[in-house]
């Protein structure tokens, strides 16, 4: 049986939720173990939510929507910076990727291809197959479409 070569480029997706924090911890350990650089991606969701679509009928809603998007971008960027700083403090070489996208899975796959990641690490938000199917699971989409190995942590 041939041994799988060590991972040389690891990509981890994080948005700050508890499940993605677990993914970051696992990816950091693996990057240290294999001496691999760590690429950290945070996706900034684009497009209007159903609530925002309903609110657009209210005068001044455009200003509120723009402020909400600006705040979301700033929060995601700050999380990405803190995550990368924590990994660098552990001696890792880290590259940050802040990507606005309609679909998180597409953004993760695009960055994975761009950096030639051989391992993608993601957290799993949904606890059941039913909730994942109903809401759509980024980890399922990535694991089905990725060329690289995918580690989904719980």
pLDDT confidence tier of residue 135, bands split at 50, 70 and 90? very low
Structural domain boundaries in the chain = 10-149
Q: What tokens appear for 46 in the block?
A: 């684009």
User: pTM for the whole thing?
Assistant: 0.84
CA distance 61 to 90: 44
Q: Read off the pLDDT of residues 65-112 as tens digits, 9 standing for 90 and up.
A: 777 788 899 999 999 999 999 999 999 999 999 999 999 999 999 999
Distance in angstroms (rounded) separating the CA atoms of residues 92 and 12: 13
User: 14: number of CA atoms within 13 Å, CB side?
Assistant: 29
Q: Do the Cβ atoms of 21 and 123 come closer than 8 Å?
A: yes
Q: Tell which phi-psi region holds residue 44, choosing left (phi > 0), alpha (psi between -120 and 50) or beta.
A: beta
The whole-number average pLDDT for the span 127-134 is 51
Q: What is the architecture, at CATH level 2, of domain 10-149?
A: 3-Layer(aba) Sandwich (3.40)
């Amino acid at each position: 049986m041939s041994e799988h070569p060590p991972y040389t480029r690891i990509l981890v997706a994080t948005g700050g939720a508890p499940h993605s924090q677990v993914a970051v911890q696992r990816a950091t350990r693996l990057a240290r173990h294999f001496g691999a650089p760590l690429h950290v991606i945070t996706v900034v969701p684009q497009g209007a939510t159903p609530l925002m679509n309903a609110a657009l009928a209210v005068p001044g809603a455009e200003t509120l929507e723009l402020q909400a998007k600006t705040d979301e971008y700033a929060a995601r960027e700050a999380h990405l910076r803190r995550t990368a700083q924590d990994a660098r403090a552990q001696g890792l070489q880290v590259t940050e990727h802040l990507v606005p996208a309609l679909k998180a899975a597409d953004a993760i796959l695009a960055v994975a291809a761009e950096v030639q990641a051989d391992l993608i690490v993601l957290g799993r938000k949904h606890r059941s197959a039913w909730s994942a199917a109903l809401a759509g699971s980024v980890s399922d989409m990535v694991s089905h479409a990725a060329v690289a190995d995918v580690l989904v942590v719980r």
